[in-house]
A and B are shown apart, each in its own frame.
Chain A
Amino acid sequence: MAENSTVENTTESAIVKPRKGFLNSFFEFFGGKALRLNNDLGAMAIFFFRSFFMIFRLKQIPEIIAQIYFIGAKSTQIVLLVGFFTGMVLGLQLYFVLVKFGSVGVLGTAIALTLIREMGPVLAAIMITARAGSAMTAEIGIQRISEQIDALSTMRIDPLGYLISPRIAAAVISFPILTTFFDLIGIIGAWFSGCVLLGVNSGTYFYRVVASTQMDDIMGGYYKSIVFGVLVVTICCFQGFFTHMRTDSFGAKSVSLSTTSAVVISCVMILVSDYVVTSFIV
């Protein structure tokens, strides 16, 4: 074996490595990145589908309810708070734009469509990511580094079924509900700033809200929120589940980095997918 090693070393040293040109370096760098991204996306897709198909089991119901409570119910307050002030700011800004054209009567239309089509699903998803998504990553990451996930495997319990599936189901249920809350409280917030503080007629405002909102607008918002829910929960759980595979850190540090990555990637993906979904439904 030692002899073989010597031969290999000699052969290696005899090879003259060609000098890398600009194009070689360029494609090596970006090609490597692209390959890693491709691998990660593939792994995430497998992660999602394996978890998704394990949702449909009777034993999951209590776990799904617990996760709806955590992702949905416990995020309600922050979503309502942010929704109300988002609506107020929108009402304020749009009033001063519309008043220049003498069209304050359409304030309700502008508010309803902006919130229901775009801002409601996006901002609600970002708020849930910040509150529940980060917590999910940290919790699963800690379970990974403390060998709790390995313990599940040794007990013949599928970690994806036990940890991830209930969270995906809960996200698919909770995101549209929280988006609805965001839209409603946003419309009320805009009414408060536009009508109560700035004097727009309340009857006109609510008439416009109801008259200009179509079922397609509402369903479009729900489609988006479901897509965001699936993306956020998959990204956050994936980052936590594979926190031990990080090459840049170990232990508690890897959990903190995974949590940061989960929130950043989720927020970016919410905005990217928002454009993609919007382009399909308009």
Chain B
Amino acid sequence: MDEQRQPLIEFRGVSKTFGTRNILNKIDFSIYEGEVTTLIGLSGTGKSVTLKHIIGMLKPDEGEIRFRGKAIDKMTKAEWNDYIGQIAYMFQNNALFDSLTVFENVAMPLKYGTKMKKKEIEEKAMARIEQTELTEVFDKYPSEISGGMQKRTALARALVTDPQIVLFDEPTTGQDPIRKNAILGMVAEYQKRFGFTALMISHEIPDVYFISNRILALYDRKIVFQGDPEEFEALDHPFRQELISSLESLGEELTGLYSKRHFKVRYQTDLSQRRPDATYAAAVFTIDDIDVIGANLGHEVTQQIIRSLGSYINKHFGAVGGFSSRQTINEYATVLPYSDIEEAERIMKDFTRDFQAHGMSGIEAAMADEAKSENCVEFSVQAGLAQGKPQIEIESVMEFARFNQKQIAQFSCARGGKA
């Protein structure tokens, strides 16, 4: 399918050597318009170097970089200005001007890079500041605000010129797990809202899978994989052993939830030994209106809600022999390998009762601060059950469980939550 589309940006046999150290060795990859592409690789393997080639901060020793089929080193000055004007770059350490306020930092590309009038610049910069939830700190200096706010300032500055392509160099570095996911959520939301093409360097596995259309894997100076996240999870390459597995295990330690790949492996190992007529149950939990929650309560609160539900599901179903995984940005799946549908329904009833009595408190706590403000939003948690057999694909069972979903809890910021 990729071969039929024209890449927006294309690397062809690009090599780069610093002194005697070869960083990139004839790498080839493509980035497509309107997609989020994530570049994954070990530290010091040339991910940032790759990004800097796109904006012309570094020149390849060999090979060429093409934009809509045209080599960027053969562009005329006008073509180059047009090309570079479409790109914004968000640096790993933000690269904010520490002697300028948040507003001045955000307005900077407009003030010095365009011929816009002062009033227009102010309006546009303030609009981006509001969208990135920085209104309260617009007159503060970067050193006076938190790391998460600094990231958002860098993001607002990158987006203020309405770029067509945004390059994110490890946007989640140095953030806690909630903020990491909040930043990824923010990238995904803005990408949807503004429609730009994103190329992101990130180590947040598996979280980046939920927001990425394509994954690029840079290993041993070469691109060893490019394709969608589903294919990447099935990749059989030393790269996985060195990076992905360790990150996934770390994710499990932190959240108790399985990665999608480990979820499938556990499913296959647990059920392959069973008799063909044996049954099991699967449950799918979904938080409705996740975009609305994000827009009204902010990305950090949204991530706290998602994590709170995930850890409660894992705690409850893990105790009865089940295993769970986050499937998409707002969906969890659980398999109860030794339960039939009737037993699963009883477990689900217990879960619903416990969740309404105790589990909702975590979500209500996350919403508490926002409930005081005018940003009121209502949403619900849906759950569905389905019965499966070992020979049936888990995806089909989960699809059936989605079909059976019904509301198990409803939340309103005005009153905290109600069932």
Contact = CB atoms under 8 A, between A and B. Distances in A.
B57 A157 contact: no
Interface in A146-161: 146-148, 150-151, 153-157
Contact of B112 (A143, A154, A162): A162
B187 interface: no
A146 B108 CA distance: 17
Given A156-B113, A157-B113, A150 B57 contact: yes
A21 to B, nearest CB: 30
B224 interface: no
Contact of A151 (B85, B87, B95, B111): B95
Q: How many of chain A's residues touch chain B, expressed as a range? A: 10 to 19
Given A148-B97, A150-B57, A155 B108 contact: yes
Contacts of B88: 154-155
Interface string B69-96: 0000000000001001101110101011
A155 B112 contact: yes
B359 interface: no
A150 B57 CA distance: 8
A157 B95 contact: no
Contacts of A146: 93, 95, 98
B55 interface: yes
A59 interface: yes
B109 interface: yes
A37 B88 CA distance: 37
Interface string A66-83: 000000000000000000
Given A146-B98, A151-B95, A157-B108, 8 more contacts: A143-B97, A148-B97, A150-B91, A150-B95, A153-B55, A154-B87, A154-B89, A155-B108
A151 B89 contact: yes
A57 to B, nearest CB: 10
Interface string A122-156: 00000000000000000000010011101101111
B113 A153 contact: no
Contacts of A154: 55, 57, 87-89
Contacts of A59: 111-112
22 contacts: A59-B111, A143-B97, A146-B93, A146-B95, A147-B93, A148-B97, A150-B95, A151-B89, A153-B57, A154-B57, A154-B87, A154-B89, A155-B88, A155-B108, A155-B113, A155-B157, A155-B161, A156-B81, A156-B84, A156-B85, A156-B113, A157-B109
A9 B112 CA distance: 53
Q: Which 8 residue pairs are nearest across A and B when measured between Cβ atoms?
A: A151-B95, A154-B89, A155-B109, A147-B95, A157-B112, A156-B113, A147-B91, A148-B95
A44 B95 CA distance: 26
Nearest to A59: B112
A105 B97 CA distance: 58
Given A156-B84, A156-B85, A151 B91 contact: yes
Q: How many of chain B's residues touch chain A, expressed as a range? A: 20 to 34
Contacts of B113: 155-157
Contacts of A155: 88, 108-109, 112-113, 157, 161
Most B CB contacts (10 A, CB to CB) among A59, A147, A155, A162 go to A155
A59 B114 CA distance: 11
A120 B78 CA distance: 49
A156 B81 CA distance: 8
A51 to B, nearest CB: 15
Contacts of B95: 146-148, 150-151
B154 to A, nearest CB: 9
Contacts of A162: 112
B264 to A, nearest CB: 40
A154 B98 CA distance: 17
A150 B112 CA distance: 15
B8 to A, nearest CB: 18
Contacts of A157: 108-109, 112-113
B296 to A, nearest CB: 31
A26 B223 CA distance: 48
A157 B97 CA distance: 13
Contacts of B161: 155
A148 B113 CA distance: 15
Nearest to B91: A147
Nearest to B161: A155
A19 B97 CA distance: 54
Contacts of B84: 156
A156 B111 CA distance: 11
A154 B112 CA distance: 12
A162 B97 CA distance: 13
A153 B98 CA distance: 17
A153 B55 CA distance: 9
Most B CB contacts (10 A, CB to CB) among A143, A148, A153, A162 go to A148
A194 B139 CA distance: 54
